[in-house]
Structure 1
Amino acid sequence: MSKPFIALCPEITRSHALHLIDWLEDECVIRYLSDSRQVSRFIEQAIDRVQLPILTHLFNQGGRFFMAYNRHDVPVGFVRLVPSGSDCEMVLVIGDRDNWGRKLGSCAIQEGMKLAFFEMRADRLIAKIHADNTRSVNAFLRNGFVLESQTPTLRSFTLTSTRYMQRLRDRAASDGNAIYVTEIDQARLRQLVALEPETSIFELEHEIERAIVVDAQHVASHVVTMNSRALLRLNDEKLEVDLVYPEDADDNAGKLSVCSDIGTAILGYKAGDAIDWRTANRTQHIRIEQVLYQPEAAGHFHL
């Protein structure tokens, strides 16, 4: 059985808006949402008022709005992140009831945490949940949130960036989706991230921080390290690529920057691993067929 997968996408179209209206008119979906009627009316008015195919700017007023896609590129819900000083509040809805019970809510929380802490640089993430919404309460608790306050009808949960980073690293060893980087690669990649615009490669920063760090002389020979060459199956196409630093990138020669979507996606994985990774327009299904060359295995520690 495939692991649950969610990707959060910032572009909001008129088609998405119609999905949102449908979800917000479903009594089962909005049962615990206090402002669902208001939001539904706002969306309907926006569609009538603005005759544009892309409505992203309207949904990002006062916060960041993301459609939640499954691995088949079908929208199944949404996440809203609302900053307030150094805090950020998360609102999460899985609107497609056919997808309830598949742990997509927990996946959406994890993607929202990544955005809040790595891209938006929040110090603390907050979730305010109706006391009777047991499914949501349990999903946030499983992802490290702790109860901060409560009333008979509302519970407020928080997660600090410090706790998030610690859990990210602690989980690496037990995560079936673990990746590996060498100490040398980690140091160079951290320098690279520090020199880039603050949020432009937050996905790469997340991968570096969640990786299991190993000595360059002991890394397994079938792991994709920096400057490795790998044979990939990208959707239905086989592709041979080198994973390189940005200054060495050349798409025509198959040299993929680690800052590119596919480059970030394959970093640290090993032969036989399969990855679903959302790029700008679609979810890519990637399998590492073979590591053809790895500098460490060849004794080329200077690369």
Structure 2
Amino acid sequence: MTTAALDLDASPAEAPPADRKQRRNLTPWLLLLPGLLWLVLFFLVPILTSVSASVQTGNFDDGFKLTWHWSNYWAGDGTQGGALKSYWHQYLHSGIYSVATTVFCLGLGYPVAYFIAFKGGKWKSLLMALVIVPSFTSFLIRTIAWKTILADHGVVVSVLNHLGVLDVTRALGITVGDHVLASPGAVVCGMVYNFLPFTILPLYTSLEKIDPRLHEAGNDLYCSTFQTWRRITLPLSMPGVIGGTLLTFIPAIGDYINAQLLGNPNTSVVGQSIENLFLRQTNGYPVGSAMSVVMMVGTLALVMLYIRKAGTEDLI
């Protein structure tokens, strides 16, 4: 009887009150509330505003009205073309430059990250600092610096001319004439320099987690260095590859500073056209917003397709 009485006395105390259970259920939502408010105010509202502006008509002086003018996405209003019909060259340039930048950053960044992760030793922190420190300088200043590096009478262009490299790049349409500035090649060079740390950091994080003893096991099984990398290192570093390419491609496809400072009128990208429509045309808001929506939806579709095809579950 004593034990039963104790159990009966303890059971009401062990059962949590209804209000305590309710507070426990609300705690996760209260913790999420600041982040949700931030996303709503600075992510969802601007997106909805852009979508709404993309189907409006009017001008800056008289105001814009929501008229569901879907032709802004194709034909425009007569004074300037639609987002897709008249600016497809800019979309093409943005896509080509961003893909080229991503490929070059991966090709340059993977060996650097590999060396730091497995060969850096006690110098790992210093080497990673050398990768990150240039990013502390203004993006604009770093891009302008490439105008000096690629100047017509500079060392780089002189060496390329002497080696005959410019003859090949000119034939491929990468450079124009005997200079590198004001060409697609200069735009990609600037973008690769600016976005390379975004590729190296995820790659290094992924490679640094790999146990070096796996490489020793590959050697014990008579695998060559390349076979060990292909069968062990590369598969284990795929989350870093996927993350690095995404962190490079997404900002690169929206970048227009490099094209504006290092390119020419024939290398214009979407960002330049949007800036021109918003700042230099009184009735350019709707078409500029339509271009922004198309760019956003297209980038999202490409990223989702890439993640799906890559098959990595670490990013989902």
TM (norm. structure 2) is 0.20
Higher strand share: 1
Higher helix share: 2
